[in-house]
């Protein structure tokens, strides 16, 4: 129901990163990243500035080529079949770019026609806006009147209309007020509950626990912790995070 593409070859996990390495000059951005994310998981990837979060997303999106290792989306290798991998992905950037003079619905209609092969009708598109958490009353208002949180919801609706089984988000709640961040997270949790697999990079430890079912701590290009979100209390997560970061920066007690 979620996706025409949901039937992965074999029983592959929707996201599989194995021994990923990426270097920029003398900077080792990824140094053997292993990460597997199961279907319907909302995974929050935490990590300090420069940890390699965006580099990871860019490899999945095919914008960067890893030096070593492999990345598979729904069993499809991003290097061997970049088009196939890309079709299975939706990316919601921090700043969703929309046409301010068009309404939320018109933006969705436009971007869907431009970027997807999935047939669209009005009911399907409105349903995507609702599932993304945009109230009906806002669908036909110009985007110029939208808050950042509302624009992000249109971005999620565009992703939903494409029926991609995997969603990537880079710092989705940065710059959102607490209520907007809470709403966005509630929508993401619902989508994960519907079987969509979500990987989000974030700095927000508090909201990571709120939205995610699993939490990873990436430091210096390697996954140092891979945790069940319910198994760590907020203070414990902060302590773990700081320990991991300090150990690698040589500033630990
Ligand atoms: N295109 C690039 N050219 C050179 N260096 C890069 C490039 N992209 C990333 N880097 C370097 O790779 C490392 C990882 O960067 P990345 O952007 O993946 O970190 P991040 O975890 O997303 O950080 P932030 O939390 O600040 O967004 C950093 O040291 C960064 O300077
Ligand atoms: Mg980043």
Residue spans per domain, the chain: 1-88+165-253, 96-163
The 10s digit of each residue's pLDDT in 197-223 is 999 999 999 889 989 999 999 999 999
Instruction: Locate the ligand 1 atom nearest the alpha carbon of residue 56 and give its number.
Output: 18
pLDDT at 142 over 90: yes
Question: Nearest-CA neighbor of 216 among 32, 36, 82, 75?
Answer: 36
The 10s digit of each residue's pLDDT in 66-123 is 999 999 999 999 999 999 999 999 999 888 999 999 999 999 999 999 877 788 899 9
Is 1-88+165-253 a CATH 3.40.50.300 domain? yes
Q: What is the pLDDT of residue 252?
A: 46
Q: Is the CB of 216 under 6 A from ligand 1?
A: no
- Return phi, psi of residue 187, to 5°: -65, -40
* Biggest CA-to-CA distance, the chain: 59
Q: Roughly what angle, to the nearest 10 degrees, separates helices 122-131 and 178-193?
A: 120
Q: Is the CB of 55 under 6 A from ligand 1?
A: yes
The 10s digit of each residue's pLDDT in 33-81 is 999 999 999 999 999 999 999 999 999 999 999 999 999 999 999 999 9
Other CB atoms within 10 Å distance of the CB of residue 87: 20
Question: Nearest-CA neighbor of 108 among 45, 170, 156, 172?
Answer: 156
Side-chain-side CA neighbours of residue 180 (13 Å): 14
Whole-number Å distance between alpha carbons of 198 and 165 = 9
Q: Among 30, 49, 50, 201, say which to mutate for ligand 1: greatest number of ligand atoms within 8 Å of CB.
A: 50
Q: Whose CA is nearest to atom 6 of ligand 1?
A: 24
Give residue 49 CA to ligand 2 midpoint distance, Å.
Answer: 7
Instruction: Locate the ligand 1 atom nearest the alpha carbon of residue 58 and give its number.
Output: 18
């Amino acid at each position: 129901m979620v996706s025409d593409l949901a039937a992965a070859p074999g029983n592959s996990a929707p996201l599989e990163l194995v021994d990923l390495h990426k270097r920029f000059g003398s900077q080792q951005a990824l140094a053997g990243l292993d990460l597997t994310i199961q279907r319907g998981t909302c995974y929050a990837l935490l990590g300090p500035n420069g940890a390699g979060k965006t580099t990871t997303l860019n490899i999945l999106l095919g914008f960067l080529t890893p030096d070593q290792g492999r990345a598979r989306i729904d069993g499809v290798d991003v290097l061997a079949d970049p088009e196939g991998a890309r079709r299975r992905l939706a990316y919601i950037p921090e700043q969703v770019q929309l046409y301010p003079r068009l309404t939320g619905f018109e933006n969705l209609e436009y971007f869907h026609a431009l970027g997807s092969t999935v047939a669209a009708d009005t009911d399907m598109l409105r349903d995507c806006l609702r599932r993304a958490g945009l109230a009906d009353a806002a669908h036909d208002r110009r985007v110029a009147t939208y808050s950042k949180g509302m624009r992000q919801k249109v971005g999620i609706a565009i992703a939903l209309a494409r029926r991609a089984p995997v969603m990537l988000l880079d710092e989705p709640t940065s710059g959102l007020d607490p209520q907007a961040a809470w709403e966005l997270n509630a929508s993401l949790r619902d989508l994960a509950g519907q079987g969509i697999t979500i990987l989000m990079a974030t700095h927000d430890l508090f909201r990571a626990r709120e939205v995610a079912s699993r939490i990873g701590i990436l430091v210096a290009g390697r996954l140092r912790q891979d945790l069940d979100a319910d198994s760590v209390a907020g203070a414990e997560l902060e302590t773990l995070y700081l320990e991991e970061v300090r150990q690698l920066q040589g500033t630990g007690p």
